[in-house]
Amino acid sequence: MICLKSNIAKVILFFYITYYFLGDDNMFIKIPFESTIDFKTNIYEITKMSLEHDYNVNDNVVLGNFYVSGEYSAHEVSVNREEFKYTLPFTVELHEDIISDTLEFNIEDFSYEIENNKSLKVNIEYSLQAEVKERKEESEAEEELFTRVDEDELKEELAQIEEKKEVDEKIKEDVNDTVKEENEEAVEDENRLGLNEEKTIMDTIKSSDDTFITYHIHIVKENETIESICSMYNVPTSLINEYNTIDSLSAGDKILIPDNNE
């Protein structure tokens, strides 16, 4: 396991290397990446979400960032949308036998969920593929291509993360109790007002699906169109346009598609 800490977005990041395949001259690996982002305000619903990334390779070390951004509503009765953007760094150390100039990076999957109305849990799966230098001795082919963390260090790091998590959970519970009381008082006040506009908003919101949405990242292939992609995922064109800005469509473009399991 590779463990990272970041002060940029007040998040704890960790991911596990799931597997890799080393042929005669190539390597392929999928890496799940998980991050919990603590918001400063309450989160009731994520209304828009996008994922971007960049990376570079220096001395066989992959250094990069995921950029998670979008909009959310803070309360059930709120009609305003707040913007957010967080930077999630990642690092992967490559074995010296990997030819870094041939490295290819791809996002395989992306999903998220709201936790305790205060945190956003992000799950990203990405892959690395590269060519490998020819080895002279067969025994060398059994060497690991990625640096492993020492087991004692890993246990100590996990213990620290667990201890911090318990403290954070206690703080979240106290904050959630305070927010819940404030929300109940606000709802009581608004009910006494009896405004028709707020009643309409409440009726609309209560009829919506309040489970989190899973997204797919589709990489456009040659000769594909918006219509063929919509048909493939069984979603309307309007839904695609709602989550993406598409002026033109070219092979290699990436489109964010919400899962339409209603």
If DSSP states are collapsed to H, E and C, what string results for 129-196? EEEECCCCCHHHHHCCCECCCCHHHHHHHHHHHHHHHHHHHHHHHHHHHHHHHHHHHHHHHHHHHCCH
Average pLDDT value for residue range 92-98: 85
83 and 117 co-located in one domain: yes
* Residues 191, 1: Cα–Cα separation, whole Å: 51
Among 197, 212, 227, give the residue marking a domain's end: 212
Average pLDDT value for residue range 52-77: 91
24 and 154 co-located in one domain: yes
The whole-number pLDDT of residue 22 equals: 54
Least confident of 67-76, 189-198, 252-261: 189-198
54 lies in some domain? yes
190 and 235 co-located in one domain: no
23 lies in some domain? yes
Q: Of all residues in the chain, what percent carry a pLDDT higher than 70?
A: 72
The whole-number pLDDT of residue 42 equals: 92
Q: Does residue 202 register a pLDDT over 50?
A: no
Q: Does residue 16 register a pLDDT over 60?
A: no
Answer yes or no: are the C-beta atoms of 128 and 20 closer than 8 Å.
no
186 vs 72 pLDDT, higher one = 72
Q: How many domains does the chain have?
A: 2
Tell me the CATH number at 229: 3.10.350.10
95 and 161 co-located in one domain: yes
At 207, the amino acid letter reads S
140 lies in some domain? no
83 and 152 co-located in one domain: yes
188 vs 241 pLDDT, higher one = 241
Token representation of residue 107: 């996002």
Residue listed under structure tokens 């206690």: 170
Paired with 48 in beta bridges are: 71
44 and 24 co-located in one domain: yes
The whole-number pLDDT of residue 29 equals: 87
Q: What residue numbers bound the domain in which 171 lies?
A: 1-132+148-212
142 lies in some domain? no
206 and 218 co-located in one domain: no
162 lies in some domain? yes
For residue 258, name the pLDDT band (cuts at 50, 70, 90): confident
For residue 146, name the pLDDT band (cuts at 50, 70, 90): low
153 and 225 co-located in one domain: no
125 and 226 co-located in one domain: no
137 lies in some domain? no
49 lies in some domain? yes
Answer yes or no: are the C-beta atoms of 15 and 33 closer than 8 Å.
yes
49 and 81 co-located in one domain: yes
114 lies in some domain? yes
The whole-number pLDDT of residue 8 equals: 37
43 and 159 co-located in one domain: yes
Among 212, 231, 250, give the residue marking a domain's end: 212
162 and 253 co-located in one domain: no
Average pLDDT value for residue range 223-227: 88
Residue listed under structure tokens 């082919």: 141
Average pLDDT value for residue range 11-31: 60
Among 212, 233, 249, give the residue marking a domain's end: 212
